[in-house]
Amino acid sequence: MPPLVGVARTGALPTGTSSCGPIPAHVAIIMDGNGRWAASRGLPRAAGHKAGAEAVTRCLRAARANGVDYLTLYAFSSENWRREPSEVADLTGLLKFYLRHKVSELHQEQVKIRFVGEVGRFGADLCAEMARAEALTAGNTGLTLLLALSYGGRSDIVQAAQALARAAQRGELDPGLIDETMVSRHLLTAGVPDPDVIVRTSGEHRLSNFLLWQSAYAELVFLETLWPDFDGDCFARVLDIYGRRERRFGARPA
């Protein structure tokens, strides 16, 4: 397995399980490296995206097995629309396939599905599939899976600010009463706790416009592993790293 960045390795962990320690309620992942994975094997980028979709299944299984309550996956950023039309078509086609053929399995496993982002940009057919998935799984009581699609952290903050401004303009809100809690309630992730840990694969060390407000006190973990190679052992190592961190939220150490 490729090494973790900036973390001393302490020996192998059992497959798909974490060491003893606190389990994060919310894990958010920037899934990166599909293209490089495919290029290293002489395959088209579409093959990398397909392999990445299979890694999502492994990741979701590991999250459920370890008692994580919320899993957010950065599946398609607002900037991804700038990619070649053929690649965008491959990504949206893959998304449509999984929505049509995999949602029932997730429903049986009590997974609740939620989409965050400017999903209307994907067109009526795909929006209908997303609405169907959300409606079907709305009453489930297991892990909540948030898929960030056409999502950007800055635009998320902007739309929250606009909503608050409109409320103030209508006389429904005193601008002087706007606080962090109120802003959070107007974000696309309203009702979901901020992520405890944000993971990025493929060796890149940046957030790339992902959950900028929500990540204020998240632990950051960067893996060299390319996303299509992500598995239960990788998830367990993330939990192990998280369990060794001391979270003070700005307070002085005891």
Here the tokens at position 134 are 């959300």
Q: What is the largest CA-CA distance in the chain?
A: 60
Comparing CA positions, the residue from 164, 202, 191, 162 lying closest to residue 74 is 202
Q: Any catalytic annotation for residue 209? A: no
Gyration radius (Cα) of the chain, Å: 19
Catalytic residue among 66, 69, 80, 196: 80
Residue 70: the pLDDT is 98
- Note the pLDDT of residue 162: 98
The conformational region for residue 188 under phi > 0 = left, psi -120 to 50 = alpha, else beta, is alpha
Helix (H, G, I), strand (E, B) or coil at 29: strand
Q: What is the pLDDT of residue 252?
A: 61
Query: What CATH number was assigned to the domain covering residues 26-244?
Result: 3.40.1180.10
Burial grade of 16 (CB within 10 A; 0-12, 13-18, 19 or more): middle
Task: Provide the residue ranges of all domains of the chain, joining segments of one domain with +.
Answer: 26-244
Residues of the chain with pLDDT under 50: 1-15, 18
What is the distance, to the nearest Å, from the Cα of residue 143 to the centroid of all Cα atoms in its chain? Answer: 13
Q: State the pLDDT at residue 246.
A: 85
**Structure tokens, 77:** 């950023």
Question: Can you give the pLDDT at residue 254?
Answer: 58
Question: Which tokens sit at 28?
Answer: 């958010």
Q: Is 232 annotated as a binding residue?
A: no
81 known member of a binding site:
yes
38 three-state secondary structure: helix
The reported pLDDT for the residue numbered 238 is: 98
Single out the catalytic residue among 32, 196, 231, 240. 32
Helix ranges restricted to H, the chain: 34-40, 45-65, 85-101, 103-108, 124-137, 153-169, 180-185, 232-244
Amino acid at 157: I
Active site residue 32: yes
Known binding residue 77? Answer is: yes
49 among annotated binding-site residues: yes
- The pLDDT > 90 percentage for the chain reads 79
Q: Say what the pLDDT of residue 7 is.
A: 36
Cα dihedral 157, 137, 234, 238, rounded to 10, equals 50
Q: Quote the pLDDT of residue 13.
A: 40
Query: Which H or E run contains 76?
Result: strand 70-77
For residue 225, the model assigns a pLDDT of: 98
Cβ-contact 5, 222 below 8 angstroms: yes
123 burial type by CB count under 10 A (0-12 exposed, 13-18 middle, 19+ buried): exposed
Known binding residue 34? Answer is: yes
Q: What is the pLDDT of residue 68?
A: 98
